[in-house]
Amino acid sequence: MGTPAAVQERTSLSDALRRLWADHVIWTRQYIVAVLEGSPDAESAAGRLLRNQEDIGHAVSGFYGDGAGAALTELLKEHITIAVEAIDAALEDNEQRFRELDGRWSANANDIAAFLAGANPHWAEADLQDLLAQHLKLTKAEIKARFDEEWSTDVERFDDVFTEILTMSDALAAGIAAQFEGAAPPADPAAGLRTALRKLWTDHVIWTRQYIVAAVAGSPDADAAAGRLLRNQEDIGNAIVPLYGAEAGEELTRLLKEHIMIAVDLVAAAGKGDQRAFARHDRRWDANADAIAAFLAGANPNWPEGDVRDLLGQHLALTKGEAVARLTQDWGADVAAFDDIFTEILTMADALADGIVAQFPERFGAGGAPAGETPAGDAGEQEGGKTRFRSSLA
């Protein structure tokens, strides 16, 4: 049986499911943020979130048929509808109603687990119940942190939500691969590297968006979002240390932090309607992107400076479009802009991973790590709050 349409030509099953479930938690968070702030983009976030449930159902249809895809979509939409009603009950301080909905939410999660276990013998129902229960628990903790305006905790809870959903996604992908011969791509020693870079750059655009949303709204969580975003630049810099050395890691971190600080200035100028300041910071942003491209090209001959510059230029253009959409309250354009940003940053992450594989074939090529081993860790191992590749790369 062929792979579903959601699995694009160069994207593995695991990558495709990770993107779908990442969208699930990203747009769940966007809805939570909007509805708790009373922001008018709550409706567009909810619409995008419901569409994501259709996307997941369509992906399943490619393996289990249209009926199964439609059934899963219905269960997932119920999952979202209950969440919306539960947040409303919390806002109304209706504890009895919230408890009732919380019970329905857990029952719905069990229904999803039973449905999936019935479709694939490699998805143990008890395991799926545990994964979905953890997802609900972490999402409720995220909601509570925002209710309580505990912004640092809010950041931590979303990081937990995102990590857990990727674990669940990988479990689903492994089950499909086991059930359908040919569903899994051939063993790829560089797969861990690709996954690690995708996670790092996904964090980059997620927390850039969270900062933009908060800064434009004048929300008090802007500082926490900015702090998490700056930490991500350290994570990216630390990730290249085993391959290019500590000095290179520090320089990339410096350039990326400059990228973020210019973005902060740019958003502030746009919010004030200061066109001259915006144009000045825009030029600084372009120059910084060129400096990053030159740095990367100097480190790896497989990263042509012109190609990297084009990728970074596209990233800047899309991010500016996202900021403008929020400033003008064009919520449909805002949703579309982030979808484009997410797709483009994954393209850039894969291009960077390809360059590393080409430069270090003994570590990531056919003669690299044995099949089944992950040379770069799963999405980057966490140590001391910083993402690193496995020490075996050093």
Alpha-carbon distance of 180 to 244, in angstroms, equals 40
> DSSP for 189-242?
TTHHHHHHHHHHHHHHHHHHHHHHHHHHHT-TTHHHHHHHHHHHHHHHHHHTHH
For residue 259, is it within any domain?
yes
> Residues 6-49: pLDDT tens digits?
333 345 889 999 999 999 999 999 999 999 999 999 999 999 99
Predicted pLDDT at 38: 94
Predicted pLDDT at 183: 64
Domain boundary residue, one of 119, 151, 179: 179
Q: Does residue 198 share a domain with residue 151?
A: no
For residue 294, is it within any domain?
yes
Domain boundary residue, one of 121, 145, 179: 179
Closest CA to 380 of 227, 240, 185: 240
Question: 393 pLDDT band (50/70/90 cuts)?
Answer: very low
Predicted pLDDT at 324: 94
For residue 175, is it within any domain?
yes
Q: Does residue 170 share a domain with residue 207?
A: no
For residue 2, is it within any domain?
no
- The mean per-residue pLDDT over the stretch 227-246 comes to 97
Half-sphere exposure of 109 (CA within 13 A, CB side): 20
Alpha-carbon distance of 230 to 269, in angstroms, equals 20
Alpha-carbon distance of 36 to 211, in angstroms, equals 16
Number of structural domains in the chain: 2
Q: Does residue 53 share a domain with residue 23?
A: yes
Q: Does residue 137 share a domain with residue 63?
A: yes
Q: Does residue 238 share a domain with residue 361?
A: yes
Q: Considering only 28-37, 65-74, 210-219, 383-392, which range has the smallest mean pLDDT?
A: 383-392
227 exposure class (CB count in 10 Å sphere: 0-12, 13-18, 19+): middle
Q: Considering only 178-192, 280-294, 300-314, which range has the smallest mean pLDDT?
A: 178-192
Predicted pLDDT at 364: 83
Q: Does residue 19 share a domain with residue 157?
A: yes
For residue 57, is it within any domain?
yes
Where do the H-state alpha helices sit in the chain? 13-37, 42-64, 66-91, 95-119, 125-147, 151-179, 191-217, 222-239, 241-244, 246-272, 275-299, 305-327, 331-359, 361-364
Domain that holds residue 122: 13-179
Q: Does residue 79 share a domain with residue 219?
A: no
For residue 184, is it within any domain?
no
Whether this model's pTM surpasses 0.85:
yes
Q: Does residue 212 share a domain with residue 109?
A: no
- The mean per-residue pLDDT over the stretch 210-236 comes to 97
For residue 393, is it within any domain?
no
Q: Does residue 335 share a domain with residue 271?
A: yes
For residue 8, is it within any domain?
no
CA-to-CA dists, residue 189 to 324, 364, 373, angstroms: 41, 6, 7
Predicted pLDDT at 11: 55
Q: Does residue 199 share a domain with residue 175?
A: no
Domain boundary residue, one of 153, 179, 205: 179
> Residues 102-143: pLDDT tens digits?
999 999 999 999 999 999 999 999 999 999 999 999 999 999
Q: Does residue 216 share a domain with residue 110?
A: no
Q: Does residue 286 share a domain with residue 228?
A: yes
The sign of the torsion formed by the CA atoms of 328, 332, 336, 339 equals positive
